[in-house]
Structure 1
């Protein structure tokens, strides 16, 4: 009997519920519900509307009944590093503060006063980003220590939704690795690190791997939805799910392209060497305890902000076309500079950078967009070179997955700048990887090798050759 799985995939700007199932050996997708997600200012903090998002999840499940769909399972993935803290009565102690909130300014340096930077990397394998969970928690400890003292449960965003659905508290492995608090080798919370930082160890939950079946819905939700289903852990870190859907793996570098660009490779062991630390690469957990050796690059967040700065006068497609029409402008910004994390005005920040670095200053929307796309391509090339140097291996292919793979101009730029063949697709990589994990847990697909063969046959992938036009 066909098993129907629901992927709840929530990114920084939108969320969706997508149904997936196997038919004649191919994976089929069907959209159920889409909704907006955004950061809102609450007092002095920039927060996620986690309760509103849960209502959207429930709305999507109610749509299933209206559409005559009876799902067998559901899996939830979101962005990484952010979390909620619950008190002894399982109530939220704070808002779900976003990683773009400035509360972590200076916290990385304070943590280094307690723990040597090298020790932190060699044990956790996670790149240094000022918004990592470790620095968010340390900011709470420094500014509002009473909150940490009251905290009885630490749940990352997907963990919290799984708790609301099932009443069960666990921390899923792939997302937990992004905290910089998990030992890369034992795959458990680093108790010594937590002690040194004075962070309450008791609030952390048992680590569970993707493909774990958590169980059924709470009784009240079964009554509300009119059906029961199994809640299954996918790779709850959205990039972890997306990488499952990379159809080409041999000698391939992947770029998961969305609000962020995650560029890297898969390995069966963490690469916690000095060169990797110096280049700020990370070793995040993946399916079947593999490691995603990658670098986090600012990504399409920049063009999203540019679009907003122009008061949404142009669609993303129009900005791409305007950039393509620009022939005699070239300026490169460092997309990983913290100044682009949450500037007051992205367009102005890009212009300021060009002034400070004595480059041509973009004066039109097309020039601004071209600057962003050119800069992303250059940052990818730099990361590719670092990967090849660290791994002492040359890669021939790049596979771009996720929503950003629809940007044909950027795909061709990547091919040209890296001098590698680029494969673009599938688009809904995160939802596909989420559903694939559920189908493996349900016994419908045997293993990750079979998953990737099915994905390769199920979805369109376009090929871009250096300095040439796209071919199918």
Structure 2
């Protein structure tokens, strides 16, 4: 999953937020993660599993390099569409979606990967903008943590799609957070801001700035609107 949303001091409990499928999760020191699930790199992992199951080795760095050279926005999907939930032949389902919606059908693995990553970046944009509107907040930067932080193309596309700088890392955010909370219980670290400064000093973080004026992403988002009722 991509868990896209905001960290807030209090939950958003409006009917509008509930109808938009947002949840409020308690965090350390009374913070609240106001978020919504987006189908994440599961789409890519299922593509890779399908190809490798057919005897085709997948070199991800080389494939990401090839995906960067693919024509932008050739094909887009709604990552949250029901047909992408179950395991199985994900490349075939992505192609079927594109065919059904009258788009060019991605053929090569690089074209499929570009379709997946651009679609996820658009979903991140949609959910973050909706979360900000529901919470009455503005967003100045995105912290992208977990395994997706290792995917430079996803991070770069997310920055471009949202028009916001992305700070990527730590990749092992769950483990780092667990260790820090236990360390604080043992009196080894200070308050939450101190823990975050420690992470920033000791973990490898990468920074991505948005490129362009965002108009191409606006047009791409408009293409998905009729077929993406779940993307509020």
TM-score norm. by structure 2 comes to 0.85
Task: Say yes or no: does 1:271 pair with 2:15.
Answer: no
Over 3 Å counting, the alpha-carbon distance change for 1:328 and 1:269 in structure 2 is closer
Cα deviation, residue 348, structure 1: 0.8
Q: Secondary structure at the match of 1:263?
A: strand
Cα deviation, residue 280, structure 1: 1.1
| Structure-2 residue corresponding to 1:456 | 200
| Structure-1 residue corresponding to 2:148 | 404
Cα deviation, residue 343, structure 1: 3.8
Task: Say yes or no: does 1:297 pair with 2:38.
Answer: yes
* Alignment partner of 1:416 out of 148, 155, 160: 160
Task: Say yes or no: does 1:317 pair with 2:75.
Answer: no
Cα deviation, residue 268, structure 1: 2.6
Task: Say yes or no: does 1:359 pair with 2:65.
Answer: no
Q: Distance in 1 between matches of 2:104 and 2:17?
A: 33
Summarize deviations over 1:390-419 as a string: whole Å, max 9, x none.
Answer: 122221211111121111111111111111
Q: Secondary structure at the match of 2:207?
A: strand
Summarize deviations over 1:246-287 as a string: whole Å, max 9, x none.
Answer: xxxxxxxxxxxxxx1111111232212122112211111211
Task: Say yes or no: does 1:345 pair with 2:89.
Answer: yes
Which structure has the bigger radius of gyration?
Answer: 1
Match runs of 1:49-448 below 5 Å: 260-311=1-52, 313-327=57-71, 330-448=74-192
Q: Is the 8 A contact 1:329 1:360 kept in 2?
A: no
Q: Is the 8 A contact 2:83 2:93 kept in 1?
A: yes
Q: Distance in 1 between matches of 2:72 and 2:38?
A: 26
Q: Is the 8 A contact 1:307 1:316 kept in 2?
A: no
| Structure-1 residue corresponding to 2:224 | none
Higher relative contact order (CA 8 A, sep 6+): 2
Q: How many residues align?
A: 209
Q: Distance in 1 between matches of 2:170 and 2:72?
A: 33
Q: Secondary structure at the match of 2:139?
A: coil
Q: Distance in 1 between matches of 2:73 and 2:136?
A: 35
Q: Is the 8 A contact 1:282 1:295 kept in 2?
A: yes
Where in structure 2 are there 5+ consecutive unaligned residues?
Answer: 213-232
Q: Where is the strand percentage greater, Structure 1 or Structure 2?
A: 1
Q: Is the 8 A contact 2:27 2:33 kept in 1?
A: yes
Q: Where is the helix percentage greater, Structure 1 or Structure 2?
A: 2
Q: Distance in 2 between matches of 1:335 and 1:329?
A: 15
Over 3 Å counting, the alpha-carbon distance change for 1:465 and 1:266 in structure 2 is same
Q: Secondary structure at the match of 1:393?
A: coil
Summarize deviations over 1:356-399 as a string: whole Å, max 9, x none.
Answer: 11111111111100100010011011012101211222212111
Over 3 Å counting, the alpha-carbon distance change for 1:274 and 1:321 in structure 2 is same
Cα deviation, residue 315, structure 1: 2.9
Summarize deviations over 1:150-196 as a string: whole Å, max 9, x none.
Answer: xxxxxxxxxxxxxxxxxxxxxxxxxxxxxxxxxxxxxxxxxxxxxxx
Q: Distance in 1 between matches of 2:131 and 2:195?
A: 26
Summarize deviations over 1:316-342 as a string: whole Å, max 9, x none.
Answer: 323312211212661111101222111
TM-score norm. by structure 1 comes to 0.43
How much is the aligned-residue C-alpha RMSD, in angstroms?
A: 1.6
Q: Secondary structure at the match of 1:284?
A: strand
Kindly report structure 1 stretches of 4+ aligned residues shifted beyond 3 Å: none
Where in structure 1 are there 5+ consecutive unaligned residues?
Answer: 1-259
